[in-house]
Structure 1
């Protein structure tokens, strides 16, 4: 599932490609991917200009000129591609927004969706989501206070969207490796120096993920050399049996709260 860095990368690319562009046509191939009738969706979206693209946690919000919004959650397996007809991937497209000769294809939305909502309903969707970890207001003191209010497994806490926004299974593994902390620890077992390392690691790993375009397998457009480069520099996630870049011990995989978790048993204590 795309996490904060992937959606931030998409946001930046969408700013380049579709910001201030008018939606000239649209195709809905899977009605379950939207929340209203096809007719109502077309009536409210067609001929609208996209005046902003915003990320919140793992969501993207397309702000339309009419003051309505399109709320996107890619969920598991969802991705986007932008290009002309001849560039279209040989994959099933659930929703397509057109901007003249160019199209934005939404692919793999079996669980994901693109919902037409008012700004008020978008805010309601976000009301239970935690703080953005890259927001300037997300200070160490704020993080330490949040940890005081939590009990239970550290891995489970990190991927809880009500705790901190945008971190999922993959980046939680990388964050814990960077912080030299075992994913099996409980939040109330952390010493102060571990909490500080964890805070710094969250900032570092997410910023690095954005810098390298996240881990998505598919490019966003033909010639895209940015998207997915983070996959090449990951340290532990999906690296079972490989050597830890820090100490040389074999990376192991363990299931924690029904999540496949990768870590170094030697240097993550």
Structure 2
């Protein structure tokens, strides 16, 4: 298995064979359905470049010591259906090694390919979504593979339970889809004015959890460079504490970080997204 020339935290973590690394980074530079600002195809490389500025020790542990292998980016030059299949296969290859998959996007639609592979491997599991948007439209701009439809594919097509954190922009169709599919949603307006709920996840939520983190779930004051920023989002430690609460007494089986749209004149969002990725590794 060949490793990508750009390695996550390559400045701090020595290169090892894939079999000897616990964390497997899968870059997915896919951008086809963005509906406002563009640039997410450049997100994975920007995160990898910024990761070289991270410290191995994050203040209380060093997740990278378990080994980090960075895969060659997924081929995203075909139709949406083919790209989803390529993502699915990349995650399947990681799961075959009994390792932990981490996807770096790219637009949010990439999550479906990972969920399909994990569903095949684990059966039922729960999704925890950090996002400004609900992403529950059945289709958007004429395609069901839109970034605005990815969670609809998860609950409708894959039948996976979903908890949403930090939403603050959704349409009536998505509001109705929440009720139909019994999606638990803690919107940003509530979370930003109250303590973390004790019952953040329902009692019957599966023990295994996948986190999908759209960086626009954070307030634009934290990560401004994303295609569809929305005011009133989660702050840094608030989001990390919510993630910790979500996996408390549960098993994290993978995660993705999506929708970074890097700018040539600023590395702020790139670095914070790399920092976020490393912080989520620490939850495993």
- Calculate the TM-score normalised by the size of structure 1: 0.23
- Ranked by relative contact order (alpha carbons within 8 Å, sequence separation 6 or more), the top structure is 2
Tell me which structure has the larger Cα radius of gyration. 1
More strand by share: 1
- Calculate the TM-score normalised by the size of structure 2: 0.22
